[in-house]
Amino acid sequence: MSNVHVISHPLVQHKLTLMRRKDASTNSFRRLLNELAMLMTYEVTRDMPTQPIEIETPLETTTGTVIDGKKLVFVSILRAGNGILEGMLSVVPGARVGHIGLYRDPKTLTAVEYYFKMPSDMHERDAIVVDPMLATGNSAIAAIDRLKEVRPRSIKFVCLLTCPEGLAALQAAHPDVPIYTAAIDRQLNDHGYILPGLGDAGDRIFGTQ
Ligand SMILES: O=P(O)(O)OC[C@H]1O[C@H](OP(=O)(O)OP(=O)(O)O)[C@H](O)[C@@H]1O
Ligand SMILES: O=c1cc[nH]c(=O)[nH]1
Ligand SMILES: [Mg+2]
């Protein structure tokens, strides 16, 4: 599973454990997701291109290093992706943002698209697709199928939690897309929920249960 990166940093694991607890409030769930997303961004953007820039310190001229945030596009799978998006944008505020609206049909567990909006010139941008949950993989696969139609320069997928079933499905459909996650849980239940998991991410972020 060389294309799968599990971010096992103690801070990430600590916050994820607090989020899993069923008694975590909407407020603390959202705040923790935000903090986790910031920490995960550090790993996910480790290889992003930089360029040298000449600057003046109060004492002399020197050469510093900057990124070009505009070349990055965070692609949020609605709704729950927006919980990760917020944290990522606080670390890379210049990034562009795309949205893909998808929901899982509760009976068939297939993904149904209701919205798609990307920045222009996607072929010049590196896309990071975000969604807290990779369960059956149907939503991530549908989102990446659709995203590939506008030909971004590269694609990564970031989630908080996944399971062997979702990883296998996404890797089979899009072997070129690296996957970043904070944990690989045990399995899916009969309703397509991750066990032990954290429940329905969208409902917990937005308090819609
Ligand atoms: O891997 P899958 O089996 O496709 O499941 C994962 C999807 O399920 C959840 O979205 P949901 O359909 O609940 O929509 P929401 O974000 O609007 O709540 C989650 O945020 C993922 O998008
Ligand atoms: O466990 C799961 C599976 C899919 N979507 C969620 O929000 N949670
Ligand atoms: Mg949901």
Catalytic residue among 50, 108, 110, 208: 108
Atom 11 in ligand 1: which residue has the minimum CA distance?
Answer: 103
List, in order of start, the domains of the chain with CATH numbers: 4-48+75-199 (3.40.50.2020)
Helices (H), the chain: 10-20, 26-44, 81-91, 138-148, 164-173, 201-206
Atom of ligand 2 nearest to the CA of 201: 7
pLDDT digits (tens, 9 = 90+) for 148-185: 999 999 999 999 999 999 999 999 999 999 999 999 99
- Tell me whether 0.90 is exceeded by the ipTM: yes
Q: Look up residue 135 and give its amino acid.
A: A
Query: pTM (2 decimals)?
Result: 0.96
pLDDT digits (tens, 9 = 90+) for 84-137: 999 999 999 999 999 999 999 989 999 999 999 999 999 999 999 999 999 999
Q: How much distance in Å is there from the Cα of 94 to the middle of ligand 1?
A: 27
31 classed as catalytic: no
DSSP string, 2-13: TTEEE---HHHH
The ligand that comes nearest to the alpha carbon of residue 187 is 2
